[in-house]
Amino acid sequence: NVSSLFCSGSRSSKTFKPKKNIPEGSHQYELLKHAEATLGSGNLRMAVMLPEGEDLNEWVAVNTVDFFNQINMLYGTITDFCTEESCPVMSAGPKYEYHWADGTNIKKPIKCSAPKYIDYLMTWVQDQLDDETLFPSKIGVPFPKNFMSVAKTILKRLFRVYAHIYHQHFDPVIQLQEEAHLNTSFKHFIFFVQEFNLIDRRELAPLQELIEKLTSKDR
C-alpha cells in the first residue's frame, strides 16, 4: 500500500529524491551542456529555444530532467518549514488547493498535506523519468507517441511545487538567501513552457502576477 508507506517514512528520509543524472558522453548530455552554456549568457529567452537541427522531444526531455533536479533541490532547502502542521493541505494561496491523483495507484483525487503531496508528486515524476520507454536515454531509441502529453503533465505538476514555495514559504527562502536562485530557476521554467506551449494558462494562474513581473523585462 503506497500511502501507508509514505506515512510511516520518517520526515528526514523524504527530503531529497536522488538527482536524475543524464549519462555523460550521450547526446542528451551534450544538449544539457549546450543549455547550461546558453543559460550562462544570461539571456533566458534565447536559452530555451530549440537548438538548430535538434529533436524537440529530446530537448523537452533534457530540460524536464533539469527542472526536476532544480525543483528537487529548491524544495529540499525548505522541507523543515513545510510540515503536516504548517501545510495540512497542498495549496498555492487561499484560492488554489491541489488534491493528488496519479491515475494508476490513486485514481480518485485525495486531499493531503503539502509535504505528502509533494512526495507523491516527486516520486511520480521520478518514476516517469526513469522509464526508458518514456524517456529513452539511448541514442536512436524513439520517443513514444504520447511523450509530449506526459511531459506536459510532469511540467504542470512541477509548477505546483514552485507555486507552493512562493505562496507558503517565501519568508524562509529569503532568510536562506535563496530568492535569486528560486527566481532564476522559475523564470527559466516559465520561459521554457511558454516557448513550447507546455502548460495551460489557467494552470499558471496562481503565479500570474509574478510571471508577468519576471517576464516583462525580457519581452
Binding-site annotation: residue ranges for Zn(2+): 82, 87, 164, 169
Cα 136 from Cα 129, distance rounded (Å):
9
DSSP assignment string, 107-169: -S-B---HHHHHHHHHHHHHHHHH-TTTS--STTPPPPTTHHHHHHHHHHHHHHHHHHHHHHS
3-class DSSP state for residue 100?
A: strand
Beta strands in 3-140 (DSSP E): 90-91, 97-98
Closest to 207 (Cα-Cα) out of 173, 156, 172, 171: 156
**Looking up cell 518514456, which residue turns up?**
134
Strand partners of residue 98: 90
Give me 159's grid cell: 509548477
DSSP state of 51: P
Annotated binding site: 82, 87, 164, 169
